């Protein structure tokens, strides 16, 4: 049984989650706060009423006509409570307990006569009580003082607080429902601002033009800019692909046509000498086509957009360049060319890609071997610059090129007029592209002995975040 597919993330669910969850938490906090405020208000009202009851009882007991005694009617009203939540006691300093509940605990501090009533909390029969006490003079017994205490349970206070809470919850719930409805409506309709962009993308076929426009919301501009940058890279890759096809067609047309002619020649005349001559030409044209294809692929790799700079690592040129020159010595000897190297003894490093630099040096050496001629000398030298960079110089003493043609040497398919050697005209173009990938500068100038001198100026190595020193070695050839 295959597992159920994971639910796709939803921007609407995410926005609603960020909005609704905090609203629900605020609602709970609001309920707690409302109940606390209602209970505080209820306590304030009941404390005030409790104090007024004590003052009323004190005035009644201080009436000279009553003589400090309670009438039966007053006693009934004070002791009567339909909920059984009211308590009082009247204690005389001279006569002791007079009326009320004799088990009512006294206050820890009895106020003086004429002082405001004192509120305090007590417990009786397992109930928490709120009480008030005061002192007053009696009318019928001069010099006697009465201590009056009135108390009640907290049930009425909590009941009143709950009533206020229920009323507040009802009104606030209606308000919250309205707010959530507005949030839902706002999120749903707010996301419709993306509809023009969606319709514009849906109408496209194979276009890779930028998708940004004045109707793109500011919040998704980073996304559209990233997509536009991706489209730009794709356009570059497609242009590179088209250019490669055009270059291949341009360069392979001549050797393929020659191959076809020599095959027809061999088939038309089966004479062994003619067949041998045709096969010789076929082999030469095949080698030319193979080299042209390799050069086209190398140029395509050099022209491809760089994805990232992490592939560029510290390279020790004083080790990499001599090894690359040694691999071409046998080929140079076969062509009658004296190939040599000159470089500093101390280490010289740059930041780059070893395989690309190997291709760069290969094309420079190959260009010298092909066009300098037999008996010529080719010197590869490495020089340190004061700014920390490095200069790679490849110089020959061949016929060279006219000074006015030096700026065109890096053009694709350009070959100096009058050259008898076959070539694709891509070698120095590859050198130029690889140098650009390494932020280097290529300078073409005449050599000291009428040859060609190519100087590649590499910048100082970039400082990496990590302290590890990594060195790439060129692939075996």
- Are 385 and 467 in contact by the 8 Å Cβ rule? The answer is no
* Helices (H), ranges, 308-444: 317-326, 329-334, 354-372, 427-437
Give φ, ψ of 318 to 5 degrees. -65, -10
Helical (H) or strand (E) element with 215: none
CATH 3.30.565.10 domain residues, the chain: 311-458
In angstroms, the Cα distances linking 259 to 153, 269, 285, 291 are: 115, 15, 7, 15
Report pLDDT for 252. Answer: 67
> Which position has the token pair 């009696």?
138
For the domain covering 12-162, report its CATH number.
Answer: 3.30.450
Report pLDDT for 250. Answer: 63
Helix, strand, coil shares of the chain, percent, nearest 5, are 50, 15, 30
Give φ, ψ of 213 to 5 degrees. -165, 175
Report pLDDT for 381. Answer: 93
Q: Choose among 437, 412, 45: nearest CA to 250.
A: 412
Architecture of domain 218-301: Orthogonal Bundle (1.10)
Cα 166 to Cα 20: distance, rounded to the nearest angstrom? 22
Per-residue H/E/C for 100-162 = ECCCCCCCCCCCCECCCCEEEEEEECCEEEEEEEEEEECCCCCCCEEEEEEEEECHHHHHHHH
Report pLDDT for 74. Answer: 58
In the chain, which residues have pLDDT < 50?
64-66, 80, 82, 307-310, 465-477
In angstroms, the Cα distances linking 60 to 100, 115, 183, 322 are: 15, 17, 61, 120
Report pLDDT for 141. Answer: 67
Give φ, ψ of 181 to 5 degrees. -65, -40
First-residue to last-residue Cα distance in the chain = 52
Q: Please write the tens of the pLDDT for every residue from 391-446.
A: 999 999 888 888 888 888 877 666 665 555 555 567 788 888 888 888 899 999 88
In angstroms, the Cα distances linking 157 to 77, 87, 160, 305 are: 21, 16, 5, 78
**pTM of structure:** 0.44
Cα 438 to Cα 355: distance, rounded to the nearest angstrom? 12
CB within 8 Å of 307: residues ≥ 6 apart: none
Q: Under DSSP, is residue 384 helix (H, G, I), strand (E, B) or coil?
A: strand
Cα 261 to Cα 282: distance, rounded to the nearest angstrom? 9
Tell me the DSSP string of 239-253.
Answer: HHHHHHHHHHHHHHH
- Are 145 and 92 in contact by the 8 Å Cβ rule? The answer is yes
Report pLDDT for 454. Answer: 92
CATH 3.30.450 domain residues, the chain: 12-162
Cα 299 to Cα 436: distance, rounded to the nearest angstrom? 12
For the domain covering 311-458, report its CATH number.
Answer: 3.30.565.10
> Which position has the token pair 């009802």?
170
């Amino acid at each position: 049984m295959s597992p159920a597919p994971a639910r796709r993330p939803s921007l609407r669910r995410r926005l609603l989650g960020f909005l609704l969850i905090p609203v629900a938490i605020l609602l709970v906090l609001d309920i707690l706060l409302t109940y606390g405020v209602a209970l505080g208000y209820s306590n304030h009202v009941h404390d005030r009423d409790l104090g007024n009851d004590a003052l009323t009882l004190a005035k009644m007991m201080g009436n000279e006509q009553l003589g400090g005694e309670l009438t039966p009617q007053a006693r009934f009203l004070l002791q009567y409570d339909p909920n059984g939540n009211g308590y009082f006691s009247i204690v005389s300093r001279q006569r002791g307990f007079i009326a009320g509940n004799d088990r009512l605990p006294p206050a820890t501090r009895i106020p003086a006569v004429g002082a405001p009533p004192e509120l305090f909390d007590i417990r009786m029969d397992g109930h928490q009580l709120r009480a008030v006490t005061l002192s007053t003079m009696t009318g019928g017994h001069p010099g006697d003082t009465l201590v009056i205490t009135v108390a009640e349970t907290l049930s009425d206070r909590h009941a009143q607080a709950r009533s206020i809470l229920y009323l507040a919850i009802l009104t606030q719930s209606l308000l919250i429902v309205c707010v959530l409805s507005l949030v839902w409506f706002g999120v749903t309709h707010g996301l419709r601002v993306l509809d023009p962009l969606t319709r514009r993308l849906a109408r496209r076929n194979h276009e890779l033009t930028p998708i940004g426009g004045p109707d793109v919301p500011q919040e998704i501009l980073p996304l559209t800019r990233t997509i536009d940058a991706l489209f730009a890279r794709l356009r570059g890759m497609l242009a590179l692909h088209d250019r490669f096809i055009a270059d291949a067609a341009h360069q392979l047309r001549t050797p393929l046509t020659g191959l076809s002619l020599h095959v027809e020649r061999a088939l038309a005349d089966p004479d062994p000498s003619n067949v041998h001559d045709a096969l010789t030409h076929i082999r030469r044209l095949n080698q030319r086509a193979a080299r042209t294809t390799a050069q086209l692929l190398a140029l395509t790799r050099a022209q491809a957009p760089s994805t990232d700079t992490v592939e560029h690592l510290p390279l020790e040129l004083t080790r990499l360049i001599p090894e690359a020159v040694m691999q071409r010595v046998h080929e140079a000897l076969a062509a009658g060319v004296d190939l040599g190297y000159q470089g500093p003894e101390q280490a010289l490093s740059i930041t780059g890609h070893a395989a690309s630099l190997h291709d760069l040096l290969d094309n420079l050496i190959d260009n010298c071997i092909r066009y300098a001629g037999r008996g010529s000398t080719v010197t590869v030298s490495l020089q340190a610059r004061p700014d920390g960079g490095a200069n790679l110089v490849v110089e020959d003493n061949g016929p060279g090129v006219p000074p006015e043609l030096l700026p065109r040497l890096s053009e694709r398919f350009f070959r100096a007029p009058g050259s008898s050697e076959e070539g694709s005209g891509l070698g120095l173009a590859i050198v130029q592209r690889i140098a650009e990938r390494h932020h280097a500068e290529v300078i073409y100038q005449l050599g000291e002995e009428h040859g060609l001198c190519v100087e590649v100026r590499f910048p100082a190595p970039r400082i990496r975040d990590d302290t590890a020193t990594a060195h790439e070695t060129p692939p075996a050839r």
